[in-house]
Structure 1
């Protein structure tokens, strides 16, 4: 009889687990706003991530972790047991899929920076900022990133789904934490080592040779991993011909226009100068874009990390509230110095140049994804910068439907996840953002996120952000 009771209890517990989905630790549960077998979002405005027109007065039904119905208000059958959320005056978009993120922060130090892992803040902040899937485009502590990914998947930590990249593949450079290749070390063994550990993407960096990149791509593709690169020594055209999948930072890292560029030579100052006065109508620029499209190369646009200083926020997206006071004071000092410098006016011109170029590439049919890259001068931080990125896409001239698609479905397509996430469609995972306000009329409403649904579980955005208030930099 006792064995029968235990068996029945086990079946009941299993049934409850299946009914309510994934189980979470107390550290995660306190941020969950809604978790129910069936949830209905009623009378919302939908920007679905496909690039199609915005739809008003819509109902969405979530069953378990999936979207099971979408339709006009009152025409969708909603189960009587469903948990109802009144969406009047609110917008729903897909959860962001961001492809240039990091779990480390560029902590400034005497004109340079040290990459410091934000183990306890960044994963939370990314989810609070609407990111339900992200790629770490280069890891400083790859083992830590893998562990965080696993803890999130196990329901023990708050954060997005993570595609973990290798450490930056770099032979030499000014940032000691980034160099990872030495002498005649086997690139193939290096790639396989990280693939065996569970890394799923590869990041090439500034100082490598064409032969290095050729071997990196061959070894990565053999393990079914894609390769992205923030390049310098290798031109975009050369990388495309070698078979690279992705190039970082729009066209701001393209060394293709340096007069008389020497093979395998990296000079970032020459890149900046060559691009500064490059005419948008230069036929060689158009030919490069056409070549990248022909070679199926995706470009990651990262405007937040290049957001100019003067007349703009100290921390893009309003993230100053998250920073520890000592760190905010330091960043404010850097901001005050650079906002009135000649370098900022040059940076502003470069920033606007790349906005036009990425818009042109997109209009030609080029594949564009986005990310924030929390490095640079220390102003770019998780979550807040992702929201700011959507505003910058609008500043670049994209329509709201285009901006959302670039930030969601395009990234899902690149990661080969589009059957599961990236758009609001029946059968896909319920990775959604509920926003207070009409986003199609006021892009600043992107900062009014209320609930972030990840696989059908709704997390309270404000509560997560509040939990890290004043703590960034204390990790």
Structure 2
């Protein structure tokens, strides 16, 4: 009994040291607002939050009779919606479940909602989602996924369907457990993808895919809800590709004319079918030797053993042909996504954490890479907030608008004129409850990567 009491005390201290439950209304005055809609920044705006909801957005002079209210001075700061990361796993290669280390990292970086986009440990993922929902643990709102579904020749740790009945029963099983998304992987056969989409939609869940055997066009026409990784996983333009197989070569990644009629037709088809694309730029950048670096903040969070894997990462390298090739590919991936967005497509974003790219910090890096790709600051924020919510079918989050849930981030600085302000998280609010990023990160030092 004494041991249980001590565990409860430790848990209580861990949770409440990083969060502050505020019962009275909050007024954030004279702050720069990027609301997530893609519209221009609004300067010196004041925002009233009551009961976890945005109640009023106006000039400070239009707020009268302010009593029993917490006032926060937003001068020289920026407010954005909480980031909605929609390729934000709770695992990385070699570590099937990152638990509260990952969830706290996401939240500390300003990510208030995640779609995990495939689960390596689905039971644990569902359990931690429930703990966060009930306030027993700290982290973003988690939209949980089922196990990956692939095909013959695929990863043996994933579900490889045997027949239609087995596949439909599997989807029903996980949907009843609380899963909201299913992710199909590279070797999925066309007939099984059609079944996954059909049964998932019957059970009010959605489907995304890291594709190869099936083209973007084919999957979109089948009714898939989203596709991951953009140009890097397009198989529509592979040479010598066999129908329904993950085959053929990838010359297209270097040679495809992105202004061609064929590319326009594909993008138009995706837009027509409302197929969402998810950008994962930060993890691709991590594969470019000349661009890879380990920032000090990430190094402090890594365990000593895990950090050892990247001890030479910041050693200057000569730019070799591999780096040059991959650098050009990154630019082409960016151009593909930019073209899709500008044509009216729904582009969302997620970190796909791995290598030295950590949960949350990689989401912040995505913002910087979207800016590098040519997106304006309001466009990049829209991709990472409103469009993520659109992918999830959520209308209560993703923008700072009257009546929506008060998920937001206060940044210390002017994000429009200084893009690195995205890393200067001063406070995070989820459903009106505030979290201190410094305290969250302090608790995580030296823990990431421990089994």
User: What TM bracket, shorter-length normalisation?
Assistant: over 0.9
Say whether the 8 Å CA contact 2:161–2:167 is kept in structure 1.
Answer: no
Say whether the 8 Å CA contact 2:55–2:402 is kept in structure 1.
Answer: yes
| Corresponding residue to 1:102 among 89, 94, 97 | 89
Say whether the 8 Å CA contact 1:125–1:465 is kept in structure 2.
Answer: yes
Partner of 1:88: 75
Determine the C-alpha separation between the residues in 2 that align with 1:367 and 1:412: 11
Say yes or no: does 1:223 pair with 2:203.
yes
| Corresponding residue to 1:426 among 396, 402, 405 | 402
Secondary structure at the residue paired with 1:92? Answer: strand
Partner of 2:6: none
Deviation track 1:171-227 (CA, whole Å, cap 9, x = no partner) reads 2557553x2115337110110110011101111110111001000000001011111
Where do 1:68-467 residues align within 5 Å?
A: 68-77=55-64, 79-106=66-93, 114-172=94-152, 175-177=155-157, 179-184=158-163, 186-267=166-247, 270-271=249-250, 273-308=251-286, 309-315=288-294, 318-333=297-312, 341-375=320-354, 378-418=355-395, 420-467=396-443
Partner of 1:9: none
Q: Which runs of 5+ in 2 are unaligned?
A: 1-10
> For residues 288 and 452 of structure 1, do their structure 2 counterparts lie closer, same or farther at Cα, with a shift above 3 Å needed?
same
> For residues 473 and 193 of structure 1, do their structure 2 counterparts lie closer, same or farther at Cα, with a shift above 3 Å needed?
same
Deviation track 1:13-41 (CA, whole Å, cap 9, x = no partner) reads xxxxxxxxxxx944321101462321111
Determine the C-alpha separation between the residues in 2 that align with 1:355 and 1:224: 32
Partner of 2:17: 30
Secondary structure at the residue paired with 1:134? Answer: strand
> For residues 103 and 339 of structure 1, do their structure 2 counterparts lie closer, same or farther at Cα, with a shift above 3 Å needed?
farther
Secondary structure at the residue paired with 2:401? Answer: coil
Deviation track 1:252-284 (CA, whole Å, cap 9, x = no partner) reads 1010011231012114x823x322211122221
Secondary structure at the residue paired with 1:120? Answer: helix
Determine the C-alpha separation between the residues in 2 that align with 1:334 and 1:277: 30
Identify, as 1 or 2, the structure richer in strand: 1
Q: Give the CA deviation at 1:312.
A: 3.4
Determine the C-alpha separation between the residues in 1 that align with 2:127 and 2:203: 21
Say whether the 8 Å CA contact 2:411–2:421 is kept in structure 1.
Answer: yes
Secondary structure at the residue paired with 1:251? Answer: helix
Deviation track 1:62-105 (CA, whole Å, cap 9, x = no partner) reads 11211111111222236321111111111000001111110012
Say yes or no: does 1:62 pair with 2:55.
no
Partner of 1:110: none
Q: Which runs of 5+ in 1 are unaligned?
A: 1-23, 107-113
Instruction: Using structure 1 for the length normalisation, give the TM-score.
Output: 0.88
Q: Give the CA deviation at 1:381.
A: 1.1
Determine the C-alpha separation between the residues in 1 that align with 2:36 and 2:220: 28
| Stretch of structure 1 that moved more, 304-313 or 234-243 | 304-313
Say whether the 8 Å CA contact 2:214–2:244 is kept in structure 1.
Answer: yes
> For residues 339 and 393 of structure 1, do their structure 2 counterparts lie closer, same or farther at Cα, with a shift above 3 Å needed?
farther
Deviation track 1:322-342 (CA, whole Å, cap 9, x = no partner) reads 111221121234676987553
Q: Give the CA deviation at 1:159.
A: 0.3
Secondary structure at the residue paired with 1:162? Answer: strand
Deviation track 1:111-166 (CA, whole Å, cap 9, x = no partner) reads xxx24311130000000111111101000001100000000011011100011111
| Stretch of structure 1 that moved more, 318-327 or 431-440 | 318-327
Say whether the 8 Å CA contact 2:351–2:360 is kept in structure 1.
Answer: no
Q: Give the CA deviation at 1:433.
A: 0.1
Number of residues of Structure 1 aligned to a counterpart in Structure 2: 439
Q: Give the CA deviation at 1:445.
A: 0.6
Partner of 1:19: none
Q: Give the CA deviation at 1:416.
A: 1.7
> How big is the alpha-carbon RMSD for the aligned residues of Structure 1 and Structure 2?
2.0
